């Protein structure tokens, strides 16, 4: 008798039998925790590299006394070695051809699926993700690689026959790789975003210098191991570790880097954008922050709206660039919606997110705790803090970065409606019309995701046409502003949330890692 495969988990999975999933996750947790506490090198040109620089001590935000590992960090000379290795491998990787590159990357996707429980368990304890969030991250990583390789295959490597101006000429339009990309990843989706950015660059024929977030060096190492075990040639994917934007700056500022793909804060991203092309324009693909609005109209299904907003606001402790951080609710249903939302939020189970029953875990760092506390203090002074606002220190929570999910009602002029916090404080403002709701939503400098709850089709259509955001959802119970998936929802930031107008998870992503070349060949008759 064969055992059924565990269900595929996405960020919006619901109503699935999870017993087998939880059993396998528990087994993975034992393996991962048993492997913690080791020392790890970087990998440059296929070789293990250590330095005398202060290493990263990777501790869990669940319990900061738990050392997950110690990771070697790069000095300028290691960054130079990594860029040189990537450049040395670039010609051969591009010449390998689309078919071979696709085969190797699909093998990487298969390895992710084989290892997904260990990968998810690692992310749960390293980031503070719930089980379902962590497994969604792993599943999406494999799907992203498959989706981007399929784009390349479907487009015939982006080679197209063009019109002939004369009978003896042959015209081709081709997209070619730029060369070496710096890939700089965030902590919150340490596998999915890293695998997505890097695989798109790789399938296009570029090589990579990869820096994971300093909070997630273990997950970054596991991605390197996946590419290595899939058979990528040495030098094609190089792993360097380091703390903060200074290390990232040293990578993209290296003269041997041809392009940057970065996910992170608007402040850092815009500085990269401004400086990277100081000499000449080079590709700078940025997915930046968000201040994502949900609109709840008087015709809304209040139960669906409350659940969708709660899930998007407090999944991963609001540490998603797509998280709902503000709600504009029609005055006629403001009290009903707010009461329903508070009730649902108070029912959240808070604790160690690697446990099967926990939805809400710790924030990533002490600085995140401090930012949350400052924002809640401002909310108290400007309006009404309906719940939350405290650091949680009871029992085992005292060892981690735990805070309570917070909800506040505020006047619309509060800066908390426009400032990205990356912390679990949701602010609510009342509006009298859809016009006002859309105008207030568009006031923020960000334009990543947005959602609406309305029973009127014409309101939904106006929202979709007028909201300045790249990812829009209507009446989504499983997440007001979250849940994009490869091939289903492109993840494209407008305004201060992105740089190119074309996003990950979508059909136009891979081509951004390539540049166009027109090829005209004259086939003149050979003289006799």
Does 287 participate in catalysis according to the annotation? yes
Please name which of 455, 486, 489 lies closest in space to residue 473, comparing C-alpha atoms: 489
Which DSSP state fits 512?
G
Cα–Cα distance between 281 and 407 in angstroms, integer? 44
Phi, psi of 11 (to 5 degrees): -70, -15
Residue 226 DSSP SS3 = helix
Number of neighbouring beta carbons within 10 Å of residue 249: 16
The helix (run of H) or strand (run of E) holding residue 413 is: none
Cα–Cα distance between 224 and 237 in angstroms, integer? 7
Measured CA distances, 328 to 31, 90, 406, 421 (Å): 45, 49, 16, 18
Cα–Cα distance between 257 and 282 in angstroms, integer? 9
Strand ranges inside 283-440, DSSP E: 284-287, 292-296, 324-330, 384-387, 406-409, 425-431
CA dihedral in degrees (163, 167, 169, 174; nearest 10)? 20
Does 436 participate in catalysis according to the annotation? no
DSSP states of 84-109 as a string? HHHHHHHHHHHHH-HHHHHHHHHHHH
Phi, psi of 62 (to 5 degrees): -70, -40
Please name which of 379, 406, 53, 385 lies closest in space to residue 214, comparing C-alpha atoms: 53
Please name which of 366, 367, 351 lies closest in space to residue 404, comparing C-alpha atoms: 351
Question: Helix H segments across 383-494?
Answer: 434-441, 457-466
Give the distance, in angstroms, between the CA of residue 152 and the centroid of all CA atoms in the same chain.
22
Name the active-site residue from 321, 376, 492, 505. 321
Name the active-site residue from 133, 215, 287, 459. 287
Cα–Cα distance between 326 and 379 in angstroms, integer? 13
The span from the first CA to the last CA of the chain, in angstroms, equals 75
For the annotated catalytic residues, the residue numbers are 287, 321
């Amino acid at each position: 008798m064969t055992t059924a495969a565990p269900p595929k988990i996405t960020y919006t999975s619901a109503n699935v039998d999870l017993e087998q999933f939880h059993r396998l996750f528990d087994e993975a947790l034992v393996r991962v925790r048993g492997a913690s506490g080791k020392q790890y090198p970087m990998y440059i040109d296929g070789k293990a590299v250590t330095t005398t620089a202060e290493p990263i001590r990777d501790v869990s935000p669940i319990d900061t006394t738990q050392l997950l590992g110690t990771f070697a960090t790069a000095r300028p000379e290691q960054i130079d070695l990594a860029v040189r290795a990537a450049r040395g491998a670039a010609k051969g990787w591009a010449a390998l051809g689309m078919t071979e590159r696709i085969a190797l990357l699909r093998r990487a996707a298969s390895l992710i699926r084989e290892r997904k429980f260990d990968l998810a368990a690692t992310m749960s304890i390293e980031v503070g993700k719930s089980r379902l969030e962590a497994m969604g991250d792993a599943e999406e990583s494999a799907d992203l690689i498959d989706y981007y390789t399929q784009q390349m295959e479907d487009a015939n490597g982006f080679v197209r026959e063009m019109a002939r101006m004369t009978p003896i000429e042959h015209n081709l339009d081709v997209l070619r790789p730029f060369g070496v990309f710096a890939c700089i990843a965030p902590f919150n989706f340490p596998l999915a975003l890293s695998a997505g950015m890097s695989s798109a660059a790789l399938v296009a024929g570029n090589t990579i210098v990869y820096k994971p977030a300093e909070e997630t060096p273990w997950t970054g190492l596991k991605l390197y191991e996946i590419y290595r075990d899939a058979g990528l040639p040495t030098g094609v994917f190089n792993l360097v570790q380091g703390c903060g934007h200074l290390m990232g700056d040293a990578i993209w500022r290296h003269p041997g880097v041809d392009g940057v793909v970065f996910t992170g804060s608007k402040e850092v991203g815009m500085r990269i954008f401004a400086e990277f092309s100081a000499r000449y324009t080079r590709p700078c693909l940025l997915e930046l922050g968000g201040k994502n609005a949900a609109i709840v109209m008087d015709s809304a299904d209040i139960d669906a709206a409350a659940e969708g907003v709660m899930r998007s606001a407090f999944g991963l402790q609001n540490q998603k660039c797509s998280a709902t951080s503000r709600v504009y609710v029609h005055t006629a249903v403001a009290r009903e919606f707010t009461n329903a939302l508070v009730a649902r939020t108070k029912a959240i189970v808070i604790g160690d997110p690697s446990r099967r029953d926990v939805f809400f875990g710790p924030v990533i760092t002490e600085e995140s705790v401090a930012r949350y506390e400052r924002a809640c203090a401002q909310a108290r002074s400007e309006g009404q803090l309906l719940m939350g606002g405290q650091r949680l220190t009871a029992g085992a929570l005292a060892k981690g970065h735990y805070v309570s999910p917070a909800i506040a009602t505020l006047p619309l002029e509060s800066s908390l409606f426009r400032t990205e916090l990356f912390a679990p404080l949701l602010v609510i403002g009342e509006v009298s019309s859809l016009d006002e709701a859309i105008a207030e939503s568009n006031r923020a400098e960000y334009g990543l995701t947005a959602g609406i709850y309305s029973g009127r089709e014409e309101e939904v259509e106006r929202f979709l046409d007028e909201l300045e955001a790249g990812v829009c959802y209507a009446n989504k119970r499983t997440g007001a502003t979250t849940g994009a998936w490869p091939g289903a929802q492109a993840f494209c930031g407008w305004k201060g949330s992105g740089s190119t107008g074309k996003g990950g998870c979508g059909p136009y992503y891979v081509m951004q890692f390539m540049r166009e070349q027109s090829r005209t060949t004259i086939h003149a008759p050979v003289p006799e």
